[in-house]
């Protein structure tokens, strides 16, 4: 599988602190790559760099060969990068259906004038989007959540909706920032299944930040380990598990 995302020697700096140093990484379609490491190792910074919220001090980031560093977050998203957020990125006041419709924004073929005057094509585009959004919810067995305001949903339900919203447009790349935090085991199992389907069935290149080792072992094809802003190891889960360098970095961590 060709690499969809390439990071070449990426460095990021915050007020004199090196958050990331010379990080090279790639993400392939259909593959789940987990990023693990202690807190402050630079994992979320990496996501922020890819999605354009943080500038690069050095290096390059390419999506399907095209550079995406230095452009605005929404332009990067327009190229096909999607992500979820650690503290929840849902639109709280809106319903699950409306959130997913927001995720379909780029796909809805209705211009300003068409919407304003209620032309047939604009209304058709909207109808199609609603149908697709409902279908996505149905696929996840979450149809009953459609009309509920997301701020009233449970943590697990919110996570699922946020992920569905992110993939509604069939993006080539998905960044998941600690999706399993605070979830009960049965919901985690659901999450693992969902992530595997996204990679396997939809062919999305998935990068995943996660602390729960068991989850990582269950869902990842490749694991990359970070410490102090540097990638210290990368390989299949079984190899990483036994790697002495990794074990040392994790000494004292669960």
Chain residues binding another protein by CB under 8 A are 51, 53, 72-75, 77-78, 81-83, 85, 89-94, 97-98, 101-106, 108, 110, 112, 115-118, 122-123, 126-127, 129-130, 165-166, 169
Chain length of the chain: 254
Which of 101, 223 has the CB closer to another protein? 101
Which of 111, 200 has the CB closer to another protein? 111
Find the shortest distance in angstroms from Cβ 88 to another protein. Answer: 8
Find the shortest distance in angstroms from Cβ 130 to another protein. Answer: 6
CB 4 within 8 A of CB 199: no
Find the shortest distance in angstroms from Cβ 106 to another protein. Answer: 4
CB 165 within 8 A of CB 196: no
Which of 57, 102 has the CB closer to another protein? 102
Find the shortest distance in angstroms from Cβ 55 to another protein. Answer: 13
Which of 10, 161 has the CB closer to another protein? 161
Which of 16, 244 has the CB closer to another protein? 16
Max Cα-Cα span within the chain: 65
Find the shortest distance in angstroms from Cβ 225 to another protein. Answer: 26
CA dist., res. 96 & res. 73, Å (int) = 23
């Amino acid at each position: 599988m060709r690499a969809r995302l390439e990071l070449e020697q990426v460095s990021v700096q915050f007020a004199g602190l090196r958050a990331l140093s010379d990080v090279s990484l790639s993400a392939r379609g259909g593959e789940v790559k987990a990023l693990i490491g202690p807190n402050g190792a630079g994992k979320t910074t990496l996501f922020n760099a890819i999605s354009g919220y943080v500038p690069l001090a050095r290096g390059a980031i390419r999506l399907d060969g095209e550079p995406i560093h230095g452009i605005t977050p929404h332009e990067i998203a327009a190229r096909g990068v999607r992500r979820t957020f650690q503290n929840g990125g849902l639109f709280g006041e809106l319903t699950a259906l409306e959130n997913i419709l927001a995720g379909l924004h780029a796909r809805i073929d209705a211009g300003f004038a068409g919407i304003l005057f209620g032309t047939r094509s604009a209304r058709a585009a909207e109808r199609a989007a609603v149908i697709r959004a409902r279908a996505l919810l149905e696929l996840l067995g979450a149809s009953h959540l459609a009309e509920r305001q997301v701020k009233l949903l449970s943590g697990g339900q919110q996570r699922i909706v946020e992920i569905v919203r992110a993939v509604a447009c069939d993006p080539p790349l998905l960044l998941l920032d600690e999706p399993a935090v605070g979830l009960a085991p049965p919901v985690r199992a659901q999450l693992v299944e969902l992530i595997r389907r996204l990679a396997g069935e939809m062919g999305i290149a998935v990068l995943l930040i996660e602390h729960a080792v068991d989850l990582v072992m269950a869902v990842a094809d490749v694991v990359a380990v970070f410490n102090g802003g540097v990638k210290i190891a990368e390989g299949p889960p079984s190899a990483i598990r036994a790697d002495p360098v990794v074990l040392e970095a994790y000494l004292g961590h669960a």
